[in-house]
Chain A
Amino acid sequence: MNQFILPMHGLGGGSDLPIPASMAIAAGTAALTLSFVVLLLAWRTPRFAGGPDRQVPIVLVRIFDTAGWSLLLRALGLLFFCFMLWPTLFGPDTLINPIFGVVYVWLWVGLVPASLLFGRFYRAVSPVRTLHLLVSRATGQPPSRGLRDYPARLGYWPAAIGLFAFVWLELVSPDSTYLGPLRLSIAIYVAVMVVGSAVYGDRWLERADPFEVYSTLLAHLSPWGRDARGHLVWVSPLRHLSRIPADGGLVAVVAVLLGSTAYDSWRDTATWIRFLQGSNISSTVWGTIGLLVAVAIVGVTFAAASMATGVGGVDRRQLPGRLAHSVVPIIVGYMVAHYLSFFIQTGQLTLIQLSDPMGVGADLFGTADWEVNYWLAQNPTFLATTKVLAIVAGHVLGVIAAHDRALEVLPKKHQVTGQLPLLLAMVLYTFMGLFLLFGA
Chain B
Amino acid sequence: MSTLVRSTKTFAALVAATTVLAACSSSEPTSEPTTEPTSSATPSISPTPTPSDTATAEEEPTPAAPELLVRIDGPNVQPNAEEIELETGEKLMIEIQSDRAGELHVHSTPEQYVEFDAGRTSAQLVIETPGSVEVEEHDTSAVVALIEAR
Binding site for B on A (CB under 8 A): 1-2, 4-5, 7-18, 93-96, 100, 170-178, 264, 267-268, 270, 273-274, 276-278, 283, 287, 342, 345, 374, 377-378, 380
Contacts and interface: CB of A to CB of B under 8 A. Distances in A.
Interface in B1-48: 1-6, 8-17, 20, 39, 41-42
Contact of A9 (B8, B80, B109, B149): B109
B131 A267 contact: no
A147 B113 CA distance: 57
A14 B5 contact: no
Nearest to A5: B41
Contact of B81 (A5, A18, A277): A277
B148 A17 contact: yes
A171 B81 contact: no
Interface string B112-137: 00000000000000010111110000
B9 A12 contact: yes
Contact of B41 (A2, A267, A273, A345): A2
A96 B17 CA distance: 12
A267 B134 CA distance: 12
Given A270-B83, A377-B109, A10 B129 contact: no
CB-based closest 6 A-B pairs: A14-B131, A177-B9, A12-B6, A5-B41, A14-B109, A94-B12
Nearest to A266: B2
Contacts of B12: 93-95, 177-178
B41 A13 contact: no
A7 B13 contact: yes
A174 B3 CA distance: 10
Contact of B4 (A2, A8, A287, A342): A287
A277 B80 contact: yes
Interface of B: 1-6, 8-17, 20, 39, 41-42, 80-81, 83, 107-111, 127, 129-133, 142-143, 146, 148-150
Nearest to B142: A277
B132 A15 contact: yes
Nearest to B4: A283
A10 B129 CA distance: 16
Main secondary structure, interface of B, reads: mixed
**Residue among A10, A100, A176, A264 with the most chain B CB within 10 A?**
A10
Given A8-B17, A14-B107, A178 B8 contact: yes
11 contacts: A1-B20, A4-B20, A5-B42, A8-B111, A12-B107, A13-B108, A14-B149, A174-B8, A176-B5, A277-B80, A380-B131
A276 B4 contact: yes
Given A5-B41, A377-B131, A378-B130, A17 B10 contact: no
B109 A95 contact: no
A140 to B, nearest CB: 46
B32 to A, nearest CB: 21
Nearest to B82: A270
A53 to B, nearest CB: 41
B148 A18 contact: yes
Given A1-B20, A176-B9, A380-B130, A13 B150 contact: no
Nearest to A10: B10
A377 B111 contact: no
B4 A174 contact: yes
Given A1-B39, A9-B111, A13-B111, A278 B9 contact: no
Contacts of B2: 171, 264, 267-268, 273
B16 A4 contact: yes
Contacts of B107: 12-15
A213 to B, nearest CB: 24
Contacts of A18: 132, 148
Contacts of B10: 8, 10, 12, 95, 177
Contact of A277 (B1, B109, B133, B143): B143
A283 B146 CA distance: 18
Nearest to A263: B2
Contacts of A174: 4-5, 8
Nearest to B131: A14
